[in-house]
């Protein structure tokens, strides 16, 4: 059950582009937060009613392997702005509510900072409000809730291989604490009409 009338979305990585798609096509979405998300549909084609959004073109031949044998996928993703990828771009101009985009500037999964810039320019080009973008230096792909161990390397759900996600432990841990506060504040403001939120004493 979803508590109405205000509905917020929170998505990370592939879940982020799913949230962008939901906010673009579904009614009643009040606020959306994405963490290191792409502005194009990724991994697999997205089916919605009689429409299909193809996946962003990727080239596994461009995956780099580190000295330790881990995969680095950064260069395997093609540019969403290339003509061949236009159909995979999520139509953000259809979104009604505000956005918070969280970016790890040492994201080795894909170019999250670049994608955030594309999202901002696309929204403003269509007369939408500029999204709130928070960038965290030294922070990798997996920005989890506070006090989770920084995930610099993990097994990719699709590839089944250990993938490098980046992030310097101290900076990443601090970013997780701050990002969690920023997410709560954003949702309280846009879902409950409150300007602040009581933070955990942990």
Q: Is 19 left (phi over 0), alpha (psi -120 to 50) or beta?
A: alpha
* CATH code at position 44: 3.40.50.1820
Check pLDDT > 80 for residue 137: yes
To the nearest whole percent, how much of the chain has pLDDT over 70?
93
> Is residue 163 situated within a structural domain?
yes
Q: Identify which of 189, 10, 179 has the alpha carbon closest to the alpha carbon of residue 197.
A: 189
Write down the pLDDT at residue 192: 81
Q: What is the mean pLDDT of the chain?
A: 90
Q: H or E element: which one contains 47? A: strand 46-48
Distances in Å between the Cα of 4 and the Cα atoms of 34, 88, 97, 184 are 21, 30, 15, 18
Q: Catalytic pick from 21, 88, 112, 141?
A: 141
Q: Is 13 a catalytic residue?
A: yes
- Quick: pLDDT tens for 138-164: 999 999 999 888 888 888 877 788 899
Strands (E), 83-170: 99-104, 132-136, 153-155, 162-164
Write down the pLDDT at residue 151: 81
Taking residues 117-136, report their average pLDDT.
94
Q: Is 17 a catalytic residue?
A: no
How many domains are there within the chain? 1
How does residue 121 score in pLDDT terms, banded at 50, 70 and 90?
very high
Write down the pLDDT at residue 194: 65
Write down the pLDDT at residue 148: 87
- Quick: pLDDT tens for 50-101: 999 999 999 988 989 998 889 998 999 999 999 999 999 999 999 888 999 9
- DSSP one-letter string for 63-94: -EE-TTS-EE-GGGBPPTTSGGGGGGB--GGG
> Is residue 138 situated within a structural domain?
yes
If DSSP codes are grouped into helix, strand and coil, which group holds residue 111?
coil
Write down the pLDDT at residue 184: 95
> Is residue 35 situated within a structural domain?
yes
**Contact (Cβ atoms closer than 8 angstroms) between residue 90 and residue 41:** yes
Q: Catalytic pick from 21, 24, 88, 107?
A: 107
> Is residue 172 situated within a structural domain?
yes
> Is residue 199 situated within a structural domain?
no
Write down the pLDDT at residue 198: 57
Q: What is the DSSP letter of 182?
A: H
How does residue 123 score in pLDDT terms, banded at 50, 70 and 90?
very high
**Contact (Cβ atoms closer than 8 angstroms) between residue 114 and residue 126:** no
Q: How far apart are CA 80 and CA 93, in angstroms?
A: 16
> Is residue 197 situated within a structural domain?
no
Write down the pLDDT at residue 126: 92
Taking residues 6-27, report their average pLDDT.
94
How does residue 35 score in pLDDT terms, banded at 50, 70 and 90?
very high
Write down the pLDDT at residue 16: 95
> Is residue 104 situated within a structural domain?
yes
Which residue has better confidence, 138 or 3?
138
Q: Catalytic pick from 13, 24, 112, 142?
A: 13
Write down the pLDDT at residue 160: 81
Domain, as residue range, for 81: 7-192
> Is residue 41 situated within a structural domain?
yes
Q: Is 21 a catalytic residue?
A: no
């Amino acid at each position: 059950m979803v508590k109405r009338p205000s509905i917020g979305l929170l998505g990370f990585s592939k879940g982020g582009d799913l949230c962008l798609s939901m906010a673009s096509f579904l009614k009643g979405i009040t606020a959306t937060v994405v963490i290191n998300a792409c502005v194009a549909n990724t991994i697999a084609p997205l089916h919605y009613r009689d429409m299909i959004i193809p996946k962003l073109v990727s080239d596994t031949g461009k995956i780099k392997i580190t000295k330790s044998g881990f995969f680095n996928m950064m260069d395997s993703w093609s540019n969403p702005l290339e003509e061949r990828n236009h159909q995979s771009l999520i139509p953000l101009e259809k979104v009604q509510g505000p956005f918070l985009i969280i970016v790890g500037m040492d994201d080795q999964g894909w170019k999250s900072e670049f994608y955030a810039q594309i999202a901002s320019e696309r929204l403003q080009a269509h007369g939408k409000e500029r999204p709130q973008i928070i960038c965290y230096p030294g922070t990798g792909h997996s920005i989890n809730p506070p006090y989770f161990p920084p995930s610099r390397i993990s097994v990719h759900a699709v590839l089944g291989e250990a993938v490098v996600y980046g992030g310097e432990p101290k900076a990443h841990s601090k970013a997780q604490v701050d990002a969690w506060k920023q997410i709560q504040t954003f949702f309280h403001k846009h879902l409950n009409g409150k300007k602040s939120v009581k933070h955990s004493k942990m």
